[in-house]
């Protein structure tokens, strides 16, 4: 189905609203005083992403004196994050919880998230995204894509999760690995000699179970709460990408809301972002223990060897992204 036909379908369905309510909804616009906000994501009901969504809904309700309700759609109920982004773009939906890199199909600037081995460690990543450079990157992505990224929910490093043990770089060769539909991820795993396979997150469990793919890569909480460990019991601590989740919204829609609504949203996002970072970091050890108790085996890597293999990706990056890379690695 084409992108435009998907948009038309989503608009007609209205994601649970009436067709009448959407009939006057132009691209990038919304009611200046919405009484219902719709938020979706592709992660499990017990996941930290859904707990953040529930917390956001409670905050919005309280801060608006129950005048604004947030309807939640977890676990890909409304399709893939690509579908939900398109629905947000046309005004049928208001927020998608996803990462910067998921916008790579809208702007090459979003590839900054997908460049592997870019940060020294967690502290380095947080310092960059809490600072001026992080704010400039968010603004540039909004100007180039139309999407506004609210908040900064730190999600931790991505790891490799597979059906067979990957103890060294050589073990990656030929691994049929699910990756997001983002070119930088595809190029990364090709450079590492894997066989990257773009697939929606909602299709990963069955894909592994049926042998279509040999694994996936995501932060450790996704391995747990999307139950991937049940079909892929090996984790390699590649820590190849650090990233944040954001409340993605269409920038013009946000701008069209009245000041009171924006204030409610901004304050709720800030509270949830602070909670998310603290909780994400605190629960990492718990998630590892949970998985270990269920038979998952963990392996570490020789980081410099892996990083050397992907260096050509930096050379091929968008010129603006190259400038950001220089600032990140010089900062």
Given this model, what pLDDT does residue 18 score?
A: 34
Q: pLDDT (tens digit, 9 = 90+) per residue, 209-218?
A: 999 999 999 9
pTM (2 d.p.):
0.88
Q: pLDDT (tens digit, 9 = 90+) per residue, 258-294?
A: 999 999 999 999 999 999 999 999 999 999 999 999 9
Which residue shows structure tokens 């704010």?
A: 135
15 within a domain of the structure (yes/no): yes
Q: pLDDT (tens digit, 9 = 90+) per residue, 182-217?
A: 999 999 999 999 999 999 999 999 999 999 999 999
81 within a domain of the structure (yes/no): yes
Percentage of residues of the chain with pLDDT beyond 70: 90
Q: How many structural domains compose the chain?
A: 1
Mean pLDDT (whole number) for 155-177: 97
Confidence of residue 16 (pLDDT cuts 50, 70, 90): very low
Q: Which residues of 21-50 are buried (b: 16+ CB within 10 A; e: fewer)?
A: ebeebeebebbeebeebbbbbbbbeebbbb
Domain harbouring 161, CATH code: 3.40.190.170
For residue 19, pLDDT beyond 70:
no
193 within a domain of the structure (yes/no): yes
Q: pLDDT (tens digit, 9 = 90+) per residue, 22-59?
A: 333 446 555 677 999 999 999 999 999 999 999 999 99
Q: From CA 193, how far away is CA 305, in angstroms rounded? A: 13
For residue 6, pLDDT beyond 50:
no
Q: From CA 107, how far away is CA 223, in angstroms rounded? A: 28
25 within a domain of the structure (yes/no): no
28 within a domain of the structure (yes/no): no
Q: From CA 59, how far away is CA 68, in angstroms rounded? A: 10
Q: pLDDT (tens digit, 9 = 90+) per residue, 228-239?
A: 999 999 999 999
Closest by alpha carbon to 70, among 79, 80, 61, 62?
61
264 within a domain of the structure (yes/no): yes
Q: pLDDT (tens digit, 9 = 90+) per residue, 237-257?
A: 999 999 999 999 999 999 999
Given this model, what pLDDT does residue 29 score?
A: 55
For residue 8, pLDDT beyond 90:
no
Tell me the residue range of the domain where 104 lies: 3-19+34-330
Given this model, what pLDDT does residue 30 score?
A: 52
Q: Is 290 exposed, middle or buried (0-12, 13-18, 19+ CB in 10 A)?
A: middle
77 within a domain of the structure (yes/no): yes
């Amino acid at each position: 189905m084409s992108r435009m036909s998907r948009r038309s379908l989503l608009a007609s369905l209205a994601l649970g609203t009436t067709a009448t309510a959407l009939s006057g909804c132009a691209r990038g616009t919304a009611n200046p005083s919405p009484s219902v906000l719709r938020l979706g994501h592709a992660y499990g009901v017990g996941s930290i992403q859904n707990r953040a969504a529930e917390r956001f809904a409670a905050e919005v309700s309280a801060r608006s004196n129950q005048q604004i309700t947030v309807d939640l759609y977890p676990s890909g109920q409304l399709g893939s994050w690509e579908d939900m982004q398109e629905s947000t773009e046309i005004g049928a939906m208001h927020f998608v919880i996803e990462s910067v890199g998921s916008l790579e199909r809208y702007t090459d600037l979003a590839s900054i998230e997908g460049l592997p081995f870019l940060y020294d460690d967690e502290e380095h990543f947080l310092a960059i995204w809490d600072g001026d450079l992080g704010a400039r990157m968010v603004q540039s992505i909004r100007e180039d894509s139309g999407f506004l990224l609210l908040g900064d929910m730190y999600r931790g490093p991505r790891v490799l999760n597979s059906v067979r043990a990957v103890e060294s770089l050589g073990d990656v060769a030929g691994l049929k690995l699910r990756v997001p539909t983002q070119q930088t991820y595809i190029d990364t795993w090709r450079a590492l000699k894997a066989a990257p396979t773009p697939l929606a997150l909602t299709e990963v469990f069955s894909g592994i179970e049926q042998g279509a793919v040999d694994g996936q890569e995501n932060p450790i909480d996704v391995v747990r709460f999307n139950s991937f460990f049940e079909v892929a019991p090996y984790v390699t601590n590649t820590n190849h990408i650090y990233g944040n989740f954001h409340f993605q919204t269409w920038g013009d829609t946000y701008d069209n809301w009245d000041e009171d609504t924006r204030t409610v949203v901004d304050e709720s996002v800030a509270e949830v972002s602070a909670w998310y970072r603290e909780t994400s970091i605190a629960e990492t050890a718990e998630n590892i223990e949970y998985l270990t108790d269920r038979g998952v085996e963990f392996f570490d890597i020789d980081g410099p060897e892996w990083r050397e293999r992907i260096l050509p990706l930096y050379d091929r990056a968008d010129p603006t992204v190259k400038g950001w890379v220089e600032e990140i690695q010089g900062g």
